[in-house]
Amino acid sequence: MSDLEGTAAIITGAANGIGAGMARVLAGEGVALALCDIDPVVHDLAAELEAGGASVFAGQADVSDPAAVRAFVDSAIERFGRIHTMVSNAGTWRATYPLDGWEKAVEDFDAIVATNLKGVFLCGRAIAPHMAEMGGGNIVNIATDHICPPPGYSTGGGTRMDVYDASKWGINGLTQAWARVLAPEGIRVNALCMDATDSKMIRGALGMEPPQDLLDRWMRPEQIAGLLVDLLNEGPEGRTGENIGIWLDHEVALPPRVEPLPSRFQ
Active site residues: 164
Could you tell me the CA-to-CA distances from 261 to 150, 176, 241, 244, 258 in Å, in that order?
Answer: 21, 11, 10, 16, 9
Residue (of 134, 121, 133, 164) closest to 146 by Cα position? 164
Distance of alpha carbon 154 from alpha carbon 157, whole angstroms: 9
Contact of 143 with 193, CB cutoff 8 Å = yes
Distance of alpha carbon 55 from alpha carbon 32, whole angstroms: 5
Distance of alpha carbon 40 from alpha carbon 82, whole angstroms: 25
- Name the residue type at position 183: A
- 27 φ, ψ (degrees, to nearest 5): -60, -40
Distance of alpha carbon 167 from alpha carbon 169, whole angstroms: 6
Q: How many helices and strands (H and E) does the chain possess?
A: 9, 7
- 169 φ, ψ (degrees, to nearest 5): -65, -35
